[in-house]
Amino acid sequence: FNTTLKQQLSKPGLTEKADINFKLSSAIVHGLIKDTDVSLITKNGGIKTYQGIDFMMSEKSIVDNLYEFEVLVNALKKIEHHNKFKKGNYSIVAEEPPLNTQQHKLFDQVYKYKSDVYSLIDSVNFDSITDEIVQNDHSKFSEFLSASFNTLQ
């Protein structure tokens, strides 16, 4: 999974239009308790954020990553609302874990209970999303943060 994600994030032209493996600072993004890494974040009228989570990790690691992403989404939604952006797109990129495992139970719970917060997409769909970002009018979220730092406080 991680190898596939790295390949998709290194697609030619993507780094010009999106921040890859980007650290969002808790000093800048109000609502974050600590600095938070995100796999991909871009802006195209709205904020688009994609976080790779490996559902083969331990149950605790998966849950920690899910909660961290949810806090990030809530903070970004505040920025979205404050700046009157279009509704954002917040997604977890993951592969479905094997059936009858604790990881699969978590995967099902995310699908069932968190669809109002973020979506789950697989690496095939993520590949087409990265193509869309490269081919269309997207800008790095970091450029927005740099230009807007004082208004986010």
Beta strands in 11-108 (DSSP E): 19-24, 36-43, 47-52, 89-93
Q: pLDDT of 2-26, one tens digit each?
A: 889 999 999 999 999 999 999 999 9
Q: What is the DSSP letter of 14?
A: S
CA angle in degrees (0–180, nearest 5) for 63-87-18: 70
Mean pLDDT of the chain: 93
For CA atoms 51, 89, 130, 136, the dihedral sign is: negative
32, 75 Cβ separation under 8 angstroms: yes
pLDDT band for position 153 (cuts 50, 70, 90):
very low
> Residue 21: how many CB atoms within 10 A of its CB?
13
- Does the pLDDT value for residue 151 go beyond 70? no
Three-class SS state of 18: coil
Q: pLDDT of 44-81, one tens digit each?
A: 999 999 999 999 999 999 999 999 999 999 999 999 99
What integer pLDDT is reported at residue 149 of this predicted model?
Answer: 64
Query: What is the percent of the chain with per-residue pLDDT over 90, rounded to a whole number?
Result: 88
Query: What is the percent of the chain with per-residue pLDDT over 70, rounded to a whole number?
Result: 97
* SS3 readout for 120-146: EECHHHHHHHHHHHHHCCCEEHHHHHH
CA separation for the pair 38, 49 (Å, rounded): 7
Q: How remote is the C-alpha of 19 from its chain's centroid?
A: 11
CA separation for the pair 56, 140 (Å, rounded): 30
